[in-house]
Amino acid sequence: MKEGFGKLTSLKEAKEVILNLIKEKNDEIIELDRALKRVLAEDIIAKIDVPHFKKSAMDGFAVRAKDTFGATNVNPKELRVIGSVKIGTVPKKTITNRECMAVSTGCMLPNGADSVLMVEFTERKNHKITIYKAVTPGENIIDIGSDIKKGKLVGKKGELINPRTIGNLASQGIKKIRVKKKPVVAYFSIGDEIIKAGEKLEKGKIYDINSKTIIAGLKEYNCDVIDLGIVKDNKEKIKETIKKGLRADFIIFSGGSSLGEKDLMCKAVSEIGTILIHGIAVKPGKPVLVGKVKNKLVLGLPGYPTSSLSNFYILVIPIIEKMLNVRYPLNTIKARLARKVVSTIGRYEFMAVKIEDNRVIPIMRGSSSITTLSEADGFIEIEENTEVLEKDSLVTVRLF
């Protein structure tokens, strides 16, 4: 009673072997404008205070607070307007005793002034204003460095760049930044039965699904993809295609649902490299092949769509994370199982689930099914040593 795979490698061990073949990407310098979703490869320290000058937070008049003390509606005071500050310029005058200058929001505060009185509490007549309110020193002023102090970390090495971090960097006038280069991944599908979209579907043939889902997944994680197409069940062709893929950082292929393909894959990889693992204790997605060709990872995913896409989530994302030295945020929720789930002891299980009315509903349609994942909201991970998850038990769902 042969198993076909001999002893299966645990997921943990497989990940170690795979990640050992993966090197962190080098850096490159790009425009900040193209930095969205890239990974910062340097700490960025603020070189300038933000704001880098004392400025008005309101439209009104820059004053010395003590000149306003005592002013109220019933007991107004008067100040002399010695000019107005033009936004974006350095005020030319200094305010002294009972003087003020008109300012608008964002204007630099003139020397001598320590606060801004809002325009709403004033009445202007030519070069005089009547003020109906007192202000305290510092009122309506945005101080130097109150948002970002010089020397503060405004971008952290390893950070995934989003519009908000871009704002931080833009405040420093930064034009270019150092980021991790994008991972480059080569992909091909293997199988005599696989045909391209648009081709006529004969009995026995199937359309290529895995190239579309895996490549879309890689693009979602901002990888550059070398699409090597569909390769027939032919050892030499497979070897040739792997060699073509060696200009990528690593190679993924899918296929080998059939016995003949399994053999071909193994032979092809071992003739030009080494097979490190064949068969991982995961469900679905057991028939994973991990090889090394010219020191590059060659990762064979199962032909079944759900298996190969599951493996993408549990094996390929960690590879991308290691290359970029980043952790993609896991989007998870906790909720209760709508029914009992029985898993296989000794195999990690990736179970696609739907969430309805805050209940977790396992989708069990088999690994050959593509709709399993397309109907799922996410998946739960069942550890190797867990056999049963009871109905109503609290589980963590990783949302897609």
Q: Which residues 253-292 are close enough to bind its own copies by CB under 8 A? A: 257-261
Build a one-symbol-per-residue string for 87-106: x at contacts with its own copies by CB under 8 A, - elsewhere. xxxx-------------xxx
Strand blocks (E) in 238-295: 250-254, 274-278, 282-283, 289-293
Q: Which residues in 37-96 contact its own copies (CB under 8 A)?
A: 48, 50-53, 57, 59, 86-90
How far is residue 47 CA from its own chain's centroid?
26
d(CA 365, CA 312): 19
Decide whether 279 or 303 has the Cβ nearer to its own copies.
303
Of 273 and 378, the one with the shorter C-beta distance to its own copies is 378
SS3 322: helix
Of 219-258, which residues contact its own copies (CB under 8 A)?
Answer: 219-220, 233, 257-258
Q: What string marks each residue from 169 to 188 as x (binds its own copies by CB under 8 A) or -?
A: xxxxxxx-------------
DSSP codes joined into one string, 20-58: HT--PPPEEEEEGGG-TT-BB-S-EE-SS-BSSS-EESS
Instruction: Output the smallest distance, CB 160 to its own copies, in A.
Output: 11
Q: Going residue by residue from 115 to 154, which x/- string records binding to its own copies, judged by CB under 8 A?
A: ----xxx--------------------x---xxx-----x
> With binding defined as CB under 8 A, does residue 2 bind its own copies?
yes
3-state secondary structure of 166: helix
Task: Name residues contacting its own copies, limited to 316-345 (CB under 8 A).
Answer: 331, 333
What's the min distance (Å) between Cβ of 213 and its own copies? 4
Q: What's CA 134's distance to the chain center, in Å?
A: 49
With respect to its own copies, which residue has the nearer C-beta, 14 or 169? 169
Cβ contacts of 325 within 8 Å, gap of 6 or more:
24, 39, 158, 180
Least distance from C-beta 263 to its own copies, angstroms?
A: 10
Selected range binding its own copies among 19-27, 314-322, 354-362, 370-378, rule: CB under 8 A? 370-378
Nearer to its own copies, 260 or 346 (CB): 260
Residue 356 touching its own copies (CB under 8 A)? no
Where b means 16+ CB within 10 Å and e means fewer, 234-246 reads eeeebbebbeebb
Please report, in angstroms and rounded to a whole number, the separation of the first and last CA atoms in the chain.
Answer: 39
Contact 115, 139 (CB under 8 A): yes
